A and B are shown apart, each in its own frame.
Chain A
Amino acid sequence: MALTMTRTRTQTALTQLAKLVAEVHGELSTVESLIQNHPEHAVALRKRRTELESHRDAFYATIKQFNPELDPTVVGALDGWMRPYGRSGTKTAIARYLKSLSD
């Protein structure tokens, strides 16, 4: 394994890291709104939220290590994280997601 990466691989690495941050942002905001609307799953949702927050902190620190001049907080939100549960935003997807949390 070469120790220095080519420019392409460096760019790709940064893109993937940013995508990770965006998906965590997206899932966090969804979980927040779900806590409001589905109080019956509040316990599992809160646990997931703490988990996501620790993931987010790890990703922020990783991006800072990648390049200290970048600010990971400006990354937006993506909803690609919901793809395994169905088409994003649909009720069935959300139901599957809530079910997976409770298991």
Chain B
Amino acid sequence: MRTRSETKWLINEIAALAGDLERIDREMADLATRRERELAALAGQREKTRRAREACLATLAITASMTTEAKLPVVHAHRPYDRRGGLLAFLRAAITQAAPSAVNTEYLARMALEHMGLEIASPKEYSRFKHNTVGRALRRFEEDGFVQRIATRTVGGAPFSAWRLKAAIPTLDALRESIELTDISRMGEKGR
């Protein structure tokens, strides 16, 4: 005997809705664990920061006899960049992602402005941002050995440089040495 149409539909619908309920429960549990993990990470950051501040306060009390009774100011100077070192962290990530391609300050500036939702008032401010902020960051990265400058290219007369993640390129001597070390017996054979 055939099942009645509405019965069949109802049973199917009830089963599908039960499946939906389970999916939603799973999503809620996942979100809860993710939230817990992020809170724990932030709590760890907070503890580290608090301990560092305590140490600096203690040092200030010892050296300058400036006790904590003095009301010390709070500074949020890096709010546009999320946190202290936020812009540098973003630039590092952008350079690493672009690797092995090279980037220049124009590209990095555009990405930073878009990603951080920064607002630039005038073209002069934009050029200063590119040259002073992003440029200095790149020069600092070069000092630290994180990026390398590629030969400058000229576009319409104005030279500019491109930068990319420093690749571990061995020198010719180092290459020769590594070849010798691996296979001395084959050194004389040609056309191998």
Task: Kindly state the separation between the CA atoms of A66 and B55 in the bound complex, as whole angstroms.
Answer: 11
Q: Which residue of B lies closest to A17 (CB)?
A: B59
Q: Are B62 and A55 in contact (CB under 8 A)?
A: yes
Task: Kindly state the separation between the CA atoms of A60 and B58 in the bound complex, as whole angstroms.
Answer: 11
Q: Are A62 and B56 in contact (CB under 8 A)?
A: yes
Known contacts: A55-B58, A58-B58, A58-B62. The answer to whether A65 contacts B75 by CB under 8 A is: no
In the complex, chain B residues whose CB is within 8 Å of the CB of A17: 59
Q: Are B77 and A65 in contact (CB under 8 A)?
A: no
A sample of 19 cross-chain residue pairs with beta-carbon separation below 8 angstroms, ordered by A number, consists of A3-B75, A20-B59, A20-B62, A54-B58, A55-B58, A55-B62, A57-B55, A58-B58, A58-B59, A58-B62, A59-B55, A60-B55, A61-B51, A61-B56, A62-B56, A62-B58, A64-B52, A65-B55, A65-B56
Binding site for B on A (CB under 8 A): 3, 16-17, 20, 54-55, 57-62, 64-65
The 4 closest A-B pairs by CB, nearest first: A61-B55, A58-B58, A62-B59, A65-B52
